[in-house]
Amino acid sequence: MSLKQGFNPYLPSWEYIPDGEPYLFGGRVYVYGSHDAFNGDTYCPNDYVCWSASQDDLSSWYYEGVIYKKTDDPFNHNGDMCLYAPDVTRGPDGRYYLYYVLNKVDVVSVAVCDSPAGKFTFHGYVSYPDGTKLGRRNGDQPQFDPAVLTEDKKTYLYTGFCWPDDKTRTGATVVVLDQDMLTVLEDPVTVIPSNPYSKGTGFEGFGFFEAPSIRKHNETYYLIYSSVARNELCYATSKSPTKDFVYGGVIISNADMNIDTYKPADKPMNCGGNNHGSIIQIKDKWYVFYHRHTNGSEYSRQECLEPIVIRSDGSIQQVEMTSCGPNNGPLAGKGEYPAYITCNLFCPEHTSQMLNIHWPLHDPRLPKITQDGNDGDETSGFVTNILNNSGIGFKYFNCKGITKIKIKTRNSGKGMFEVKIHWDGDSLGSIKIDNSDTWEENSSCLSIPDGIHALYFLYKGTGIAELASFTLE
């Protein structure tokens, strides 16, 4: 059977799912996340939905529908609170348990379902044996971003959110839950320190910020989390689920920070922003799931994935953001590709300092991925806000015999797109564009060397250009 190609984002371009937690149940990969809105003004205003794919084909995802409404929680019957990042585990009874936190409540809620795709129903709140809710006992840290792992009839619940300079929060904590999936058996302990408490721990510079996620490979527990850099997913490992975690490294950055294979390590190649995700083994391969930012804001995030390798010593090397992660290899060097699969958005003024001083972490000089219409409209995304010297990159393509490139653009000025295979390399040719209020196609005969390459389009001109797609011929 011939499979279609897989792109990032792997869900439709009009779907905005961040904080993805992937799980393999019964031969299918299910992704649970929060639910942003296109052109939204806050995090996670929509109900939880689920998407799934066969473990044999990560290019084709099925919409399972709404699995839990924000009004299903007794604290939120009027719907004025948002459902933040969730996680799911299969309990000792074989049912599926959904853990989440509402944005204005400092406790962990739980819902349950007999099947992984919902619909989930409210189950209760995580509480101590005396009935006090976790997060409300004196000395508890506010609950945020629950992550869960069930084994040997116990469930380990990790939570936490720590601003970099906040000394009132010690880091990511874990509690052990009983078989009812609600009652705390073992009190909270800190497993990854926050920034103020990281000195001398091995986590210096990579202290816990948010987004814990727990996985197990062989006899090693991997605690994935977002560090104080915000744009990166790090990991720590231990032989115990409740203690002795050691910092491992960065798995991915949604600005490709730290990567020095194709650019300087401190050069951001995307807008950055917060990150949340996890790792999963699907058949004989491992992947990291993470999210990117669109529309020039923090509030319209989308799911992506990349293959990773867990070495024999248990370590994970950081991987690049790509356009072809779900494809398990480069894309074909022929045919039309939508511009929303871009993985690099950059300009000369975009520096690592911007990532550190801006919150939200978006600069108006950068190109951005967007769409026409409203949230929920099934319209294809495109790249806008392409200014003079702005670059848009796509990785990777298996190029062979390419002699012509065609682009589909709208433009408020006029100019040209230079085509490159290195973001700062020599131009292989250019494609001229003119002022147009509608999508127009222009092309140029130019030669791309045979081999596996990235493709970059660098705009030189006036006004604001928009790119819908490009075609390799």
Task: Write the DSSP string, 396-429.
Answer: EEEE-S--EEEEEEEESS-EEEEEESSTTS---E
Residue range 354-381: mean pLDDT, rounded = 81
In the set 72, 210, 256, 306, the catalytic residue is 210
Check residue 424 and give its pLDDT: 95
**Which residues in 200-238 are b (16+ Cβ under 10 Å) and which e?**
eeebeebbbbbbbbbbeeeeebbbbbbbbbbbbbbbbbe
Checking if the pLDDT of 374 tops 50, the result is yes
Confidence of residue 354 (pLDDT cuts 50, 70, 90): low
How large a percentage of the chain has pLDDT more than 70? 97
- Does the model's pTM come out above 0.85? yes
Residue 117: per-residue pLDDT: 95
Residue whose token pair is 């790509």: 322
352 backbone dihedrals φ, ψ, rounded to 5°: -65, -25
Please name the residues in contact with 172: beta carbons below 8 A apart, sequence gap of 6 or more.
158, 159, 160, 190, 191, 192, 208, 212, 223, 225
Determine the Cα–Cα distance for residues 172 and 201; give it in Å rounded to an integer: 14
Q: What is the mean pLDDT of residues 328-356?
A: 87
The neighbouring-strand residues paired with 411 are: 436, 465
Same fold, 21-329 and 332-472: no
- Give the CA distances from residue 317 to residues 238, 248, 292, in Å, rounded to whole numbers and listed in that order: 18, 9, 20
Q: What is the CATH number of domain 21-329?
A: 2.115.10.20
**pLDDT at 272 (0 to 100):** 87
Preceding amide of 396 cis, omega within 30: yes
Nearest partner of 457 among 447, 469, 445, judged by Cα: 469
Give the pLDDT of residue 360: 46
- The yes-or-no answer on residue 473 being catalytic is no
For 453-459, what is the mean pLDDT?
98
pLDDT confidence of residue 364: 83
Q: Positive or negative, the Cα torsion across 261, 266, 269, 274?
A: positive
- Alpha-helical segments (H) within 139-289: none
pLDDT at 361: 55
Tens digits of residue pLDDT in 116-139: 998 999 999 999 999 999 999 999
> For the CA atoms of 439, 442, 443, 448, what is the dihedral angle to 10 degrees?
-50
pLDDT of 1: 34
266 is a catalytic site residue: no
**What does the pLDDT read at residue 239?**
98
Residue 439 has pLDDT above 50, yes or no: yes
Average confidence (pLDDT) over 101-129: 97
C-alpha angle 344-20-327 in degrees, rounded to nearest 5: 55
pLDDT for 66-92, tens place per residue? 999 999 999 999 999 999 999 999 999
Lowest mean pLDDT across 321-325, 347-351, 390-394, 431-435: 347-351
Higher pLDDT, 365 or 51: 51
- pLDDT surpasses 60 at 3: no
Q: Above 80 in pLDDT, residue 359?
A: no
Fold of 332-472: Jelly Rolls (2.60.120)
Which among 304, 295, 297 is positioned nearest to 276, based on CA atoms? Answer: 304
Judged on CB neighbours under 10 Å (0-12, 13-18, 19+), 309 is: exposed
Q: Provide the pLDDT for residue 348.
A: 78
**391 CB-near residues (< 8 Å, 6+ apart):** 344, 345, 346, 347, 367, 423, 456, 457, 458, 459
pLDDT at 227 exceeding the cut of 80:
yes
Is the pLDDT confidence value at 356 over 60? no
For residues 175, 194, 354, 103, the Cα torsion angle rounded to the nearest 10 degrees is 40
Please confirm whether the linkage preceding 360 is cis (ω < 30° from 0).
yes
Mean confidence (pLDDT) of the chain: 95
Radius of gyration of the chain (CA): 22
Question: Which pLDDT score is estimated for 121?
Answer: 98
Mean pLDDT of the 343-371 span: 76
The rounded distance, in Å, linking the Cα atoms of 46 and 64 is: 15
Average of per-residue pLDDT across 216-238: 97
Q: What is the pLDDT of residue 99?
A: 98
Give the span between the Cα atoms of 38 and 15, in whole angstroms.
8
397 token code pair: 């393509």
Model pLDDT, residue 357: 46
Domain coordinates in residue numbering, the chain: 21-329, 332-472
Q: Write the pLDDT tens digit of every residue in 417-428.
A: 999 999 999 999
* Residue keyed to tokens 């497993």: 191
Q: Which pLDDT does position 228 carry in this prediction?
A: 94
pLDDT band at residue 49, thresholds of 50, 70 and 90? very high
